[in-house]
């Protein structure tokens, strides 16, 4: 089960499941729950699943006919932003040299199309409605000119920035009653899924118009979507239990 990664060659990384959120030492983006961690505690080195099991070259359905190469650092001297979530690239990245596109390893894993409880979602980089979470069309603080992806439902009711997923995840974790009990180390077999817990505790920014008529269904879909979405983003094993609810449409 242990792995060696080119970004941390001297020690072995082992799968762990801690409640506390972490920052991935590969891509420098947040994560929660399961991770691969260096055996040597002094290192304090954690990686997302997608950052550990990278592909040296790959492609994404959103960018047809574009090959991406895995790099340990963003290329060149200039700052680079992820074309998926719109955030700064500070570590591991998939880079398309020809077109100049960049994707975080976790963002690379997001499917172009996704079906949750019979509602079809598609990645878009131009959205006409506000994101459910941040209530904005444009990403907050976006200076890069990169708009970032959103998942938009075919019925046009549901809009979520990819960028807002980690925010939702961390917010849910903060709302959990025992969130400040540091590094609880769970036995991997019996671990209560910290990501699932975090999302259960998520207080959704629900406004009056979602209440009543069809509102319950709306909230149910939103919660289910978040779980599937964040699970795929982080490569969390609990998404396996959700495969009956969600289908990746290739
Ligand atoms: Zn990572
Ligand atoms: Zn180490
Ligand atoms: Zn990204
Ligand atoms: Zn948003």
Whether residues 91 and 159 share a domain: the answer is no
Residues 103 and 124 in one domain: no
116 plus 182 within the same structural domain? yes
Confidence of residue 186 (pLDDT cuts 50, 70, 90): very low
- How far is the centre of ligand 1, averaged over its atoms, from the C-alpha of 218 (Å)? 31
* Ligand (nearest to CA of 25): 1
Ligand showing the shortest atom-to-Cα distance for residue 83: 3
pLDDT of residue 19: 72
How many domains, in total, are found in the chain? 3
| Higher pLDDT among residues 128 and 215, named by residue | 128
CA distance 110 to 123: 9
Ligand nearest to the CA of 130: 4
Residue 237 confidence (pLDDT) above 70: no
**Are residues 149 and 242 both part of a single domain?**
yes
Q: Which ligand is nearest to the CA of 8?
A: 2
Residue with tokens 């040597």: 40
Q: How many whole angstroms from 9 Cα to the centroid of ligand 2?
A: 8
Residues whose Cβ atom is located within 5 A of ion ligand 2: 11, 38, 40, 43, 45
CA of 13 to the centre of ligand 4 (A): 33
Residues 34 and 61 in one domain: no
Query: What share of the chain in percent tops pLDDT 70?
Result: 74
Question: Could you tell me the pLDDT band of residue 220, with boundaries at 50, 70 and 90?
Answer: confident
Looking at residue 39, which CATH number applies to its domain? 3.30.60
What is the domain range of residue 136? 109-248
């Amino acid at each position: 089960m242990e792995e060696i990664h080119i970004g941390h060659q001297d020690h072995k990384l082992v799968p762990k499941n801690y409640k506390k959120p972490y920052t991935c030492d590969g891509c420098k983006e947040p994560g929660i729950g399961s991770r691969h961690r260096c055996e040597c505690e002094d290192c304090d080195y954690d990686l997302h699943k997608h950052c550990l099991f990278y592909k040296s070259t790959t492609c994404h359905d959103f960018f047809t006919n574009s090959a991406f190469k895995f790099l340990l650092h963003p290329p060149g001297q200039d700052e680079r932003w992820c074309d998926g979530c719109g955030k700064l690239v500070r570590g591991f990245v998939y880079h398309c040299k020809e077109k100049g596109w960049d994707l975080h390893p976790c963002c690379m894993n997001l499917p172009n199309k996704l079906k949750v409880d019979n509602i079809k979602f598609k990645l878009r980089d131009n959205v006409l409605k506000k994101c459910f979470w941040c209530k904005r069309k444009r990403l907050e603080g976006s200076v890069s000119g990169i708009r970032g992806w959103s998942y938009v439902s075919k019925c046009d009711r549901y809009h979520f920035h990819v960028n807002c997923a980690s925010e939702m995840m961390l917010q849910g974790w903060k709302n959990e009653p025992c969130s400040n009990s540091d590094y609880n180390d769970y036995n991997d077999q019996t671990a209560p899924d910290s990501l699932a817990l975090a999302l259960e505790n998520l207080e959704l920014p629900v406004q009056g118009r979602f209440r009543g008529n069809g509102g319950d269904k709306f909230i149910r879909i939103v919660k289910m979507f978040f779980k599937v979405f964040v699970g795929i983003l982080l490569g969390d094993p609990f998404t396996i239990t959700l495969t009956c609810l969600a289908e990746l449409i290739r």
